[in-house]
Amino acid sequence: MLELWRPPEDAGEPIGCLATTYTFDPSLFDEPCLGRFLEIESEPDREDLAFLLERENRLGCVYAGVLVDHTQAGVSHSLRWDVLPVRVRAGKQHAKLSLLAWSRHIRIIVASANLTEPGYRANREVAATVDLSPTEADGDLLIQAITFLRDLLALVPGAQDDPPDVQRASAYLSQVERLAETWVRPRRKAVVRQQLACTLPAVRSENGPRSSLDEAVEACRRSGRSPHEAWVASPFFDVDDDSGRVAVALCKSMARGRTRKIRFCVPAARDEGETAVPRLAAPEAIRLAPLQYRGHVSVAVLPAFDDDKNHRFWHAKMLALRGDGYTALMAGSSNFTCAGMGASANRNAEANLLTVVDRAPYGRETSTLEAIWSEMDPVVDPGAAEWLGSQPETDEEEGAVVSSLPAGFVSGTYRAGDAREIVLRFDPSSLPRQWLIHACGRDESELLTETLWMETGSGSVVTLPWSPLEPPDRLLVVWGGEEAFLPLNVEDGQQLPPPAWLEQMSADDMLWVLAAADPSAAFRAWARDQQPSDTFDIDVDSATPIDLNPLRRHDLQITFLYRIRRRARILAQLRANLQRPVWGRRALDWRLRGMIGIEALSQCLVSDIATSSDAGDEARDEALLTLADFLLVLHEVDYVSSDGSLSKQEFDTEFRLFLRELADKLQEQVAAQQSNISPEPLGFWLRVLDKCR
C-alpha cells in the first residue's frame, strides 16, 4: 500500500497531500509515505542528514496534513505538516481517504487501512485508487472527495474561527480544484461507474446526515432494480442490539417480492481445532434479523493466515451488492455497524468507494470485481455455531483506549520567529473545573493552570511566551485524574528555524543545491561530506563521478578564470530553475524565502564580503562582483507558466517586489563595507542595484 503514495511517471512536481485516519503513526506518515510522495531518494536509516534536509526543504513548498479522530490526534510530529483533530459528536472520524496531488496527476486513495504500521504492513486491507490526469479526469468523483474533506474540516474544533492549520488545508483543496478545472473529462462509460459512498452526521444546516448504505443502494437502483443479493465482509459488528438493526436496514433496502440472499463473512476464534464447533466473533442477531424479511443467510469465515501461514488480522471492510444486470462493490472504512453504515442517529465519518459494473456477455469487469473476494471457508450450519459477539472495536484500530480531551480545549498553535509564543484557544463553557497544560519535550515546563487562566481574564485565547529555541513536542492536558494530549501545529511554517546543520553550508554549497537539476543528489553529496559514514558506497551513492583523467596535474579550481566560468554556468542553471512553473504562492514564497532559497543564498553571499577581508582586496572585490552577478541573474528571470501554476503576471508581481526589497536590504549591508571596496567593483554594484530597483 505504501507504493500508492509514489507518483506515476510524468506526475510532475508535488503540490500537496491531505489524508484521513482514525489511529495514527506519525513516523509512518513522515518517512515512508511522505518520502515516496515527495520522491526523496535519501534513506533515513543510512543517510539521516540528507533525508532530514531534503524532507525539510521539500515540505516547505508543498502542503501536507492529516485529519485524525480527536482522541488520537495529540501526537508528536514535525511542524512542517499539520495534524488536524476531527471531533464527531457521538461518533468518530473513521474514514481512510487520502488526496494526493502533483502538478500533472491527482490520486484519490480510499482504503480500510489506518495510517499505522499494522494497517500498511501487516493486516489484510482493501484499498482502491482513482487517478486523474490532464487527459482523463473524473471531475465528479474529485469534487465528491473534496466535499467530504471539507465537511471533515468543518468538524475540526475551532474551525469556524479559520485558524492557520484549517486555512492551509482549505487552500490546498481549492488549489486541487483549480488544477483539475481544465483537465479533460472522460467519455461516459456504460459498463463501469464509480462514486464515493460516505457516512457523516449533519455537518451543515443545508445538508442532512449521510449514510454509506443508503448511497450505495441508491446508486445501484439507478443501474436497475434494488439488489437482491448482498455479501458482507467486516471484522467488527455492533456489540449491542444495534447489530440486528443494521442487518434489518440492509434487508429493507433490497428487492421485494423475492428471497433476499445475504452472506456474512465474519472472523472466528481458531483455537479449538478443525473439527470443533465454529466459534464466530460476531453477534447472532445478524443471522436472525434477516429471517423476518424473507432473507436467506449464509456464513463464511474470514481468512486469518496468508500463503506462508503468517497470521494477518483481517481489517478490510467490503459490501457487495448484486441485482438484475449489475454487480457492485463498496470498499473502504465502514464496518457493518449502525455508526459505520449510517443506520442510526449516531454516525461516524466514513468514506468508501462504490464501483458498479453492468453485467454484459463476455465482459471481464464483473469477474474482476468479484475476484477481489478471498476464498473463505463456509460455515455449514450457522445455527449450530457458537456466536461470541463482536470483539471490541479498539482491537481493530491497533491502539489503546485513550481519554477523550474535553471539548473546552480547542487547539494549540506554535508561533515561531524571533518572539516565540504558544497560542492556546479555549471554549470556556466546556472546560473542566481544575486543569493544567504541560509542555512536553526537551524543554519541559508547566504552561498554564486553571487558576492562572482565571487570573488573566478567562479568555478564549491565551498567548504565552516560549523562550526555548525548539518548540515543545506535545502539549499534555491534565484534569480530574485524567490526561490527554492537545494537538499542536505551527502558525507559519516559514518562520520555523532551519536545521542547525545548514549553518555549515557555504554560499557555493547553497548555490550548487539551488541550481542542481537533481537537488536530491546534491543534498546527498553535501551531507556525505559533512557526515562521513562507513555504510556509504561510493559506487552506488555518489552524486558526482570520480575524476578519472590521469593527465590532470593541476587543480584548475584555484584559478580565477575557472571560478568565474564555473559560477557563471551555475548561475545560469539557477536562473533556469527559477523560471520553471511554480504551483501556488506557498511554493513561490518558499522558493524565494525558504531555508535554502534566494534570500538565504543572498545572505551567504553578502557575508562572504566581510569574511573575505582577511584574504585581501581582490578577494573582497570578487565577492562583491559575485553578489552583483547574482542580482543580475535574478533581474533576468523570465518566468514560464503552465496549466494550474501561477500565471506570469502573478509571478512577476510577487517576484519583482521581492527583488526590489532584496536589493535595498543588500545595499544596506554592503554599505557597511563600502570604504574597503575598490571603486570599479563598487560602481558596477551600484549600476546593478539601479537595474533591480
Amino acid at 592: L
Q: Are residues 171 and 208 in the same domain?
A: no
pLDDT of residue 143: 97
Is 185 part of any domain? Answer: no
How far from 583 is each of 17, 57, 345, 392, 645, CA to CA, in Å? 14, 15, 42, 45, 5
Domain identity same for 488 and 504: no
Q: Cell 557555493: give the residue.
A: 508
Structural domain contains residue 397? no
Which strands sit side by side in the sheet containing 482-486, from one edge to the other?
Answer: 445-449, 435-440, 474-479, 482-486
User: Are 99 and 201 found together in one domain?
Assistant: no
Q: What 8-state DSSP symbol labels residue 315? A: -
Q: Write a three-state SS string for 568-635.
A: HHHHHHHHHHHCCCCCCHHHHHHHHHCCCCHHHHHHHHHHHHHHHHHHCHHHHHHHHHHHHHHHHHHH
> Which of 180, 205, 238 is at the close of a domain?
180
Quick one: 551 and 459 in the same domain? no
**How are beta strands 229-233 and 260-266 bridged, if at all?**
parallel
Q: How many domains in the chain?
A: 4
- Which residues, listed in sequence order, are joined to residue 483 by a DSSP beta bridge? 478
Q: Are 447 and 563 members of one domain?
A: no
Residue 647, domain extent: 500-692
CATH number at residue 289: 3.30.870
Is residue 400 domain-resident? no
**Residues 226, 278 share a domain:** yes
Is 161 in the same domain as 60?
Answer: yes
- Rounded (10°) CA dihedral 75, 80, 81, 83: 30
Residue 352's CB is within 10 A of a number of other CB atoms, namely 32
Verify that 590 and 510 share a domain, yes or no.
Answer: yes
Asked if the structure places residue 464 within a domain, the reply is: yes
CA distance 290 to 284: 11
275 burial via Cβ count (<10 Å: 0-12, 13-18, 19+):
exposed
Single residue among 149, 180, 211 that ends a domain in this structure = 180
* Residues 320, 208 share a domain: yes
Task: Mark whether 221 and 322 lie in a shared domain.
Answer: yes
394 part of a folded domain: no
Q: Which of 152, 180, 208 is the last residue of a domain?
A: 180
Query: Has residue 393 been placed in a domain?
Result: no
The whole-number pLDDT of residue 520 equals 78
Cβ(126)–Cβ(317) under 8 Å?
yes
Laid out side by side, the sheet with 229-233 consists of 192-199, 350-358, 326-332, 317-323, 229-233, 260-266, 295-301, 377-378
- 65, with CB counted inside 10 A (0-12, 13-18, 19+), is buried
Among candidates 236, 212, 246, which has minimal Cα distance to 397? Answer: 236
Residue 540 sits in the same domain as residue 639: yes
The verdict on residue 681 lying in a domain is yes
The reply to whether 281 falls in a domain is yes
For residues 518 and 640, membership in a common domain is answered with yes
Give yes or no for a contact between 300 and 282, defined as CB atoms under 8 angstroms apart: no
CA distance 507 to 235: 57
Report which of 6, 9, 14 is spatially closest to residue 519, judged by C-alpha positions. Answer: 14
Question: What predicted TM-score, i.e. pTM, was given to this entire model?
Answer: 0.90
Mean pLDDT per 10-residue segment, the chain (693 residues): 94 95 95 92 77 86 96 92 95 97 97 96 94 93 97 96 95 95 80 94 84 97 91 92 86 91 91 71 92 92 79 93 94 96 95 93 83 90 91 56 86 93 95 94 90 93 93 94 94 88 84 84 81 53 48 50 74 91 91 90 86 68 87 92 90 93 90 80 87 83
Q: Are strands 409-415 and 421-426 parallel, antiparallel or unpaired?
A: antiparallel
Residue 357 to residues 220, 354, 366, 628, Cα–Cα distance (Å): 10, 10, 6, 65
Q: Print the SS3 string covering 51-110.
A: HHHHHHHHHCCCEEEEEEECCCCCCCCCCCCEEEEECCCCCCECCCEEEEEECCEEEEEE
Return the bridge partners of 268, or none.
280
